[in-house]
Structure 1
């Protein structure tokens, strides 16, 4: 079975995984991405790929060997630190490599390199999508497709055409910052972080630090806040943001506040938005969704894994079902119940993340 025109909106993990498996099966696909190039912006921190989801997807995509060459089993270490004493009170490194870490940018690079040249059309932001499979781009050009796959993230335009549902603010916000060349420039913080993830938390506030493969430590100040909490705070003014956070985390041990004091570069505001649970729709022949476009959840270690699995399962269904319409139904029949149950667990896990229990380290 072949389809003359399959379009994927978005060159994130789910869209690229889908494109890879489609091409393995000899199906043609075009990926449209609004960013101008693969390196147009940083790709975020590190991901733990689970043995029963993300790694399954990479084996389906025949990219397991490339993943293993870059994965960091030592990155599974989870360390809990007392916020008042900076004492390590929990240090856990699982046996084996069920959830090895890999930088998101490295994983995206593996997927991009696996595609036929010209598969991804960069600098093609969408302006409109119809349920009939018509894409209209920001430059006014329109194209029709037999199937449009929405892998275009939290604020998906394909989802807007399919369900009209928009993400809602979760009540939790992240402020991201980092430490460069940590082992050399910030040795005490590098030692406290360990080889994987360090977390400390109390009173609805958390501080998370994660190693990446480059020696960078990516940090997140995480706390409950009303949606407009940052009104009047200029995130271009790093000193003002740092001082605000130091006040918010007042009373914590100086060794932990050093993450904020010694930060390199600026701060990025990342308010946490989620889709309502359940988020489902009546199957439509020409549109479907992957990843965050389908099930935007709190970032508790499952989103990227489900996104990869979504992409490979849809592509496999398209390669084996008698029609695109049947393939979409088969894919959604498996994906929707799975994502709804996971989203319920993540909603609970978000509150565990900010509980005072250092063993509930769901980050």
Structure 2
């Protein structure tokens, strides 16, 4: 089968995260039809995660091409660029305060960014409750997508924007994410100015990090008077069950953590003891480096599906840049096959170079040095 023109193609994006939605938005602005399929039953079915920083040299480029940059700045929190580095006693060792007009990487809650992108799409673009089960059909198309609800559709191009455990990835690569040896335990704090004023003062309007070489804490101010804290440890991936605990045993996990952080100051340990609700276990995973695949004329990947890396401030930015470049390649190419080749010629070398720089980078989160840890892409 000859590759079809993008304007005539049936394009299915799998995954309604920032990458998938950005790709759909740019395609629609260029007059190309697209459908997005997502496993969640609705847009507000689950927590969307914490805060993201969108960089001027990638994430903001994508929003500009999507025609949403001005709206982004209205929603963003430039003050979230502030970064505090502390030692385990709570003593501040460095403090970066952004200039009043600094907009290089302002913060935005992941949910607000997603809503901005969703609201920019034509009604009916996203089909909720469609978890991809299998992709079949010849490599040159059309591809047949079967979803867990029993429905099927055909596509001339399948774009995998479905994250770390991508089902689309299986069509082009056998690679699977590997555990890095470092794990996050996420804790939430709500109504912090009233209920947790000491933690609010400690963290400030942006982020705060402390580590002793073996364990760390990273706290981020979110919108809506929320703070998320990540307890960072070098532990086995199944450390909770190995300790005879379950993920919902908040008191048992807390007691274990207080032993691990016994030499930290009481003020710092309040970020372990005072959280609202249970902890969330988030082991840090990464794809092998390099992660490449043989060209496929009807399937490609973007974001974490293509190049899952440790959460050091690049994940969402690269996903949105990938999405934009793929959409523009489709708009400017004679065939889908040509567009995929154009896109992957740039994306694969860029992601390989970045992944090499960040390989083993999860260990930096345990260092007393300040990590560039600006987004929430560690969430599974």
Counterpart CA distance in 2 for 1:225 and 1:361 is: 22
Q: Shift in Å at residue 362 of structure 1?
A: 3.9
For structure 1, the 5+ residue unaligned runs are none
Matched residue, 2:192: 182
Q: Which of 319, 333, 340 does residue 328 from structure 1 map onto?
A: 340
1:208 maps to 2:218: yes
More displaced, 185-194 or 343-352? 343-352
Distance 2:193 2:349 in 1: 44
CA positional deviation for 1:260: 1.3
Find the partner of 1:265 among 277, 283, 299: 277
Alignment match of 2:121 (pick from 115, 122, 130): 115
Q: State which of 28, 53, 58 in structure 2 corresponds to 1:53.
A: 58
Two-structure CA RMSD over aligned residues (Å): 1.2
Alignment of 1:145-224 (within 5 A): 145-224=155-234
TM-score by length of 2: 0.93
Which residues in structure 2 correspond to 1:1-363 (within 5 Å)?
1=5, 2-83=7-88, 85-95=89-99, 96-130=102-136, 131=139, 132=141, 133-231=143-241, 232-355=244-367, 357-362=368-373
What do residues 173-200 of structure 1 show as CA deviations (whole Å, max 9, x unaligned)? 0000111111111111101101100001
Kept after mapping to 1: 8 A contact 2:180/2:362: no
Deviation of the 1:162 alpha carbon: 1.0
Q: Deviation per CA, 1:191-214, whole angstroms, max 9, x where unpaired?
A: 110110000101321101100111
Larger deviation: 1-10 or 100-109? 1-10
Task: Assess if the C-alpha contact under 8 Å between 1:90 and 1:358 holds in 2.
Answer: no
Contact 1:201 1:207 in 2 (8 A): yes
Instruction: Give 1:360 deviation, angstroms.
Output: 4.2
In structure 2, what is the Cα distance between the partners aligned to 1:185 and 1:298? Answer: 32
- Answer with 344-353 or 311-320: which moved more: 344-353
Deviations along 1:241-281, one digit per CA (max 9) or x if unpaired, are: 21111112111000000111111111000011110000001
The residue aligned with 2:377 is none
CA distance, structure 2, for counterparts of residue 230 and residue 241 of structure 1: 8
SS at match of 1:90: strand
Task: Measure how far apart 1:346 and its partner are.
Answer: 1.6
- Secondary structure of the 2:64 match is helix
Please give the alpha-carbon distance, in whole angstroms, between the structure 2 residues aligned to 1:226 and 1:306. 29
1:131-173 C-alpha deviation (Å, 9 max, x unpaired): 4422111133322210000011111110011112111111110
CA contact (8 A) 1:46 1:212 kept: yes
1:312 deviates by 0.9
Hey, what's the Cα distance between the residues in 1 that align with 2:284 and 2:370? 22
Contact 2:284 2:362 in 1 (8 A): no
Q: Secondary structure at the match of 2:347?
A: helix
Give the whole-Å Cα distance in 2 for the aligned partners of 1:173 and 1:138. Answer: 30
CA distance in 2, matches of 1:295, 1:271: 17
CA contact (8 A) 2:182 2:363 kept: no
Could you tell me which runs of 5 or more consecutive residues in structure 2 were left unpaired when the two chains were aligned.
375-380
Q: Compared with structure 1, are the counterparts of its residues 128 and 198 closer, same or farther at alpha carbon in structure 2 (3 Å cutoff)? A: same
Matches of 1:114 and 1:204, distance apart in 2: 44
Residue 333 of structure 1, CA deviation: 0.7
